[in-house]
Amino acid sequence: MGRLALVLAILAAACGGAPTAPARSSPPDVAASASATASPTLAPTPSPSPRPISAVLERIDPAKLNDHMVALASFGSRDPRHPNHAKAVAYLKEQLDAIPGVVVQSHRAAYNGVPLENILAIVDPLTAAPSNGWVMICAHYDSISKNSPGWNPATTAAPGADDNATGTAALLEYARVLAQERASLKQRIVLAFFDGEELFFKGSLAYLGSLDTPPPYAAVINIDMVGFNPLADRLDLIYYTNASASLRDLTMATNDRYQIGVSPLVPQLATSGATILDAAPFGLAGIPAVALVQRYGENDATFPGNYTFHTVNDTPDKITNKRLWLKAAKLTLATALELAR
């Protein structure tokens, strides 16, 4: 059994069952945009100069982030066992399909009879994308309210505004922004909207299991639950094994290079495969993976603890630090662009 297969088997056993994955396949390359044949007597039109990463970050629109978060929370629940989960799927696909230059695919799996649907938004360079070295930015769009009294996943509200409509909204903004930056990309960026994270990352684990060996990804950056902290602009930077150390260091350097201002940015080594974040399966399989998140920090002068996530009270009014949310969105995108350009 290969290393990746062994890791996946251990993860699946630890989490209570193996996911159902389709036949192994990789997303198809996206063809370059068609253009008219130039006259041989004319000089070729030069490619536009790449927009500096600092300028790309300024194109993230806080109002659009907020609109997406509110819309996602308005469905009541995005738990895959709740009927309104389908409304979230439809919303994500509608938003992504409206962006020229973004290819949208679905990856379906199941866990204990519960259907899961991962949504992949692929942004390629204008030239043919390489077959490996891809960069993933991921967030889970499902929600849960298991800490609420009388919880029933099929009927109880789970608005999930912070966990994780904040990260999902950021991915939607990345799709809009990156679609206009394809000329500057040298590498494929995949925006992965994962399902079933609240079931112990079953959607991301199933997707990893569907990939060829070795997987085509060089890095995975996870943004999860980044809108709450009334005390400080703190984020925890979770990383997995020494294979993720270089990506951890790049993320920290990027925060400084572009003066994004996440402070403190606290690196934390994930010490257990049960860490409920979509970066976990990739990191434990040896793919460099990090997660930006607020909830894994100890309560201290920079973090008060969050007691509304996983409850019916994780509503838009609980997003108490939109400045931090925007910084998290910028740091995630800047790190991905450092890798993809």
Q: Is the pLDDT of residue 265 over 80?
A: yes
Q: Is the pLDDT of residue 43 over 70?
A: no
Tokens of 199: 């079931």
Q: What is the mean pLDDT of residues 239-255?
A: 96
* Radius of gyration (C-alpha) of the chain in whole angstroms: 19
Cβ pair 262, 234 in contact under 8 A = yes
Dihedral (CA of 66, 63, 141, 280) sign: negative
Mind listing the pLDDT tens digit for each residue in 15-40? 444 444 333 444 444 333 333 333 33
- Chain length of the chain: 341
pLDDT at residue number 36? 32
338-262-147 Cα angle (round to 5):
110
More confident residue, 295 or 122: 122
Mind listing the pLDDT tens digit for each residue in 212-229? 999 999 999 999 999 999
> Nearest 5°: phi and psi at 259?
50, 50
Q: Which of 9-13, 60-64, 103-107, 143-147 has the lowest mean pLDDT?
A: 9-13
Task: Please give the mean pLDDT across all residues of the chain.
Answer: 89
Percent of the chain with pLDDT over 90: 82
Residue position matching structure tokens 């982030």 = 65
Burial zone of 101 (CB within 10 Å; 0-12 exposed, 13-18 middle, 19+ buried): middle
